[in-house]
Amino acid sequence: MIDSDWFTAGLSGLVSMTVSAIVIYIALLLFTRLSGLRSFSKMSSFDFAITVAFGTILASTLLSRSPALLTGIVALGLLYLIQYGVARARRADAGFARLVDNEPLLLMAGSELLTDNLSTARLTEDDLNSKLRLAGLANREEVLAVTLESTGDVAVIKKGQTIDPQLFAQVRDGQRLID
């Protein structure tokens, strides 16, 4: 026999969900205003993980009886506080930043494909070709550099620009562009 509650929702359940949605949305806005724009910036892989956790808490709070609304708000607040603390620690201590952040990785130096780095990043040549096309390149000869950033984004720099060594100082194998 199929449980009819699985297909329907009572009025009290809908009202509870509506109130929870409004309250948790207001809490999210307040926490974001207090902590600043960095909350959803995806500046590091840690930021991305926190953003996913925010979504999980929001969904759990809205769609189930547990966690309770207050528990969801407290959990959101704690995640914002942790993110704030990690961001401050990253700024204050380069060693901590290296511990938390992924190291950017050079994937192409000019038209040369760095296959070891592609393997390290678990990317295929087809993955890279897709990113080159999305960047508007018609062939690899147009590439000055391609990096996999600490956020997981792929940055494509076209030929015709001058390399600033400081921009590639923290990129693994970035010295290949400077030598």
Question: Which domains are seen in the chain, by residue range?
Answer: 4-99 (no CATH), 102-178 (3.30.240.20)
Rounded to whole angstroms, the Cα distance separating 179 from 96 reads 29
pLDDT in tens, the chain (179 residues): 566 665 667 787 788 888 999 999 999 999 988 887 777 777 777 788 888 999 999 999 988 877 889 999 999 999 999 988 988 998 899 899 888 888 999 999 999 999 999 999 999 999 999 999 999 999 999 999 999 998 889 999 999 988 999 999 999 999 999 86
Rounded to whole angstroms, the Cα distance separating 11 from 27 reads 24
Q: What is the pLDDT of residue 7?
A: 62
Q: What is the pLDDT of residue 43?
A: 72
Rounded to whole angstroms, the Cα distance separating 176 from 114 reads 11
